[in-house]
């Protein structure tokens, strides 16, 4: 249920305290540990989580029990317990506060650590991914209490390591197992939305296999004229190694990275494609004349959610073009990120890819593929009838449109962990990362109207779950 008082309370809190707090949060460069190994000395992570903790006191939730936990050497975690107000069940609400690095290419007037409010969007790193999650989760609970509507026992967990693969999180889950309990419903606000017109529910997440592929052929650089034709280029060797796992002409990856796609998932994606249409392609900033290799909207969604893909996200071993002499370089390295089908075992896939890349090094070169925390994806259990009805009603009442379901191309490691730990739980995985919101890249923004409506949808689902 979504009462007028819930909507009014949500609107007032977003306007009065959430937006000012998010402005301050964006200014903090609390990059995830993978991008700031000296995060503890820099103090930005502590500044961010302490800001979130202070904001919690602004809400009328007198019975909340809140604590910043920090295990030795691990990023702080904020955990909040709100006891039941008479409703049934237990709910775990999840988000993260660590951020991706700055990246380049921000538009004039925009910057990663400078909040800018423009055309109903709040620009800056981390506002949409995923700083808003705490604010939305706690406001949804407070809205129910202010409206006199019951909710079950709620635990809000906000971690500081998600953008690094959540390698700190298992230690906290174990240490706080008794407090977390056994949730009947998990709410995650770190996902995408196909558009800003309705509620989007994520039903699967791809896994991730990151690693660095390096090729060394010399111990030091040599004159390209003197060595060319005798010493093979390390870049050419790297290109050839990549062909072992990726067809350069089509982008298709090795068969060991594919699985059989569930028919229900394909049907779901076909329905989503009819709603999104050309938006599946136009949401990205293509250069003039560029286009995807497939023209079928449904096939593009399947590619993005249930088939593997590979991105080369970093290169090392080469100087900037302005400093590049006529020198044959001793080696080349590339940071690779494979996205894996949701149910493919990431550890097994990692072992197979490593073996493919390192076997029989060309020309006797030194070849290494150094793995970095493979993550298995997640596929949601079948949606319970009550949750399906609640999501549909919440979307129609709040957005005026039906709820939509589809998989997501990214990874949220915590979902796999929770799915294994609580196989009977239901999941509401959703978010505000819609067209051009550009998490991880330049010009990231939070679509404020969607965030407000999503907050009200969470409140509605919590109220419906309490009434079971």
- 68/118 same-domain check: yes
Residues 193 and 261 in one domain: no
Are 50 and 189 in a shared domain?
Answer: yes
- Two tokens, residue 447: 């679509």
Longest dimension (CA), the chain: 81
Would you state the pLDDT for residue 295? 82
In the prediction, which pLDDT does 335 show?
97
Q: Residue 358 maps to which CATH number?
A: 3.30.70.360
- Look at residue 2 in the predicted model and tell me its pLDDT: 55
* 167 and 234 share one domain: no
In sequence order, the β-bridge partners of residue 159 are 96
CB atoms within 10 A of CB 39: 21
pLDDT value of position 263: 95
355 and 408 both lie in a single domain: no
Residues 116 and 9 in one domain: yes
> Cα–Cα distance between 315 and 395 in angstroms, integer?
43
Domain C-terminal end among 333, 353, 371: 371
Return all residues near 52 (Cβ < 8 A) that are at least 6 apart: 21, 25, 78, 97, 134, 158
The verdict on 305 and 425 lying in the same domain is: no
Amino acid 163: pLDDT: 94
Helices H / strands E in the chain, number of each: 16, 18
Per-10-residue mean pLDDT of the chain, 468 residues long, equals: 82 97 98 97 98 96 94 98 93 97 97 98 98 98 95 97 93 96 96 96 97 98 97 98 97 97 95 95 94 91 97 95 95 98 97 98 98 94 96 96 96 89 94 96 97 97 95
Q: From CA 255, how far away is CA 210, in angstroms rounded?
A: 18
How many structural domains compose the chain? 2
Same domain, 159 and 237: no
Domain that holds residue 344: 207-278+297-371
Burial tier of 359 (Cβ tally within 10 Å: 0-12, 13-18, 19+): exposed
336 shares its domain with 408: no
Is residue 102 located within the same domain as residue 198?
yes
As given in the structure block, the two tokens for residue 105 are 């290419």
- Asked if 433 and 410 sit in the same domain, the reply is yes
Q: Is residue 286 part of a domain?
A: no
Residues 353 and 383 in one domain: no
Q: Decide if 6 contacts 144 (C-beta within 8 A).
A: yes
């Amino acid at each position: 249920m979504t009462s007028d008082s819930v909507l009014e309370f949500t609107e007032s809190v977003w306007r009065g305290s959430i937006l000012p707090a998010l402005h301050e949060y964006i200014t903090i460069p609390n990059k995830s540990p993978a991008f700031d190994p000296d995060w503890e000395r820099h103090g930005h992570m502590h500044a961010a989580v302490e800001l979130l903790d202070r904001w919690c006191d602004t809400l009328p939730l007198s019975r909340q029990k809140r604590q910043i936990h920090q295990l030795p050497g691990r990023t702080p975690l904020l955990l909040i317990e709100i006891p039941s107000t008479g409703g049934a069940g237990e709910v775990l609400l999840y988000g993260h506060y660590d951020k991706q690095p700055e990246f380049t290419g921000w538009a004039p007037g925009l910057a990663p650590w400078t909040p800018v409010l423009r055309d109903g969007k709040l620009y800056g790193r981390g506002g949409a991914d995923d700083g808003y999650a705490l604010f939305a989760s706690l406001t949804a609970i407070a809205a129910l209490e202010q409206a006199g509507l019951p909710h079950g026992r709620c635990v809000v967990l906000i971690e500081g390591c998600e953008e690094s693969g959540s390698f700190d999180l298992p230690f906290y889950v174990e240490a706080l197992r008794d407090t977390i309990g056994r949730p009947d419903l998990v709410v995650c606000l770190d996902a995408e939305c196909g558009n800003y017109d309705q509620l989007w529910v994520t039903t699967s997440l791809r896994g991730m296999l990151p690693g660095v592929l390096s090729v060394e052929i010399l111990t030091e650089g040599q004159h390209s004229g003197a060595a060319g034709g005798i010493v093979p280029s390390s870049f050419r060797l790297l290109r050839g190694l990549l062909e072992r796992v990726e067809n350069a002409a089509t982008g298709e990856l090795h068969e060991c990275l594919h699985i059989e796609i569930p028919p229900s998932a394909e049907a779901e994606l076909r329905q989503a494609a009819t709603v999104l249409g050309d938006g599946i392609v136009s949401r990205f900033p293509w250069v003039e004349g560029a286009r995807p290799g497939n023209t079928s909207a449904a096939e593009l969604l399947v590619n993005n959610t249930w088939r593997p893909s590979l991105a080369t996200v970093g290169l090392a071993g080469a100087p900037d073009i302005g400093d590049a002499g006529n020198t044959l370089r001793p080696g080349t390295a590339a940071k690779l990120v494979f996205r894996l089908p949701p149910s493919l075992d990431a550890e097994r896939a990692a072992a197979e890819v490593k073996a493919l890349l390192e076997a029989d090094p060309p020309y006797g070169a030194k070849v290494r593929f150094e793995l970095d925390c493979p993550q298995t994806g997640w596929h949601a259990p079948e949606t319970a009838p009550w949750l399906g009805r609640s999501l549909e009603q919440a979307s129609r009442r709040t957005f005026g449109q039906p709820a939509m379901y589809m998989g997501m191309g990214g990874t949220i490691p915590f979902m796999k962990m929770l799915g294994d730990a609580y196989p009977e739980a239901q999941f509401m995985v959703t978010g505000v990362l819609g067209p051009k919101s550009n998490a991880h890249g330049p010009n990231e923004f939070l679509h404020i109207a969607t965030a407000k409506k999503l907050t009200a949808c969470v409140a509605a689902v919590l109220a419906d779950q309490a009434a079971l």
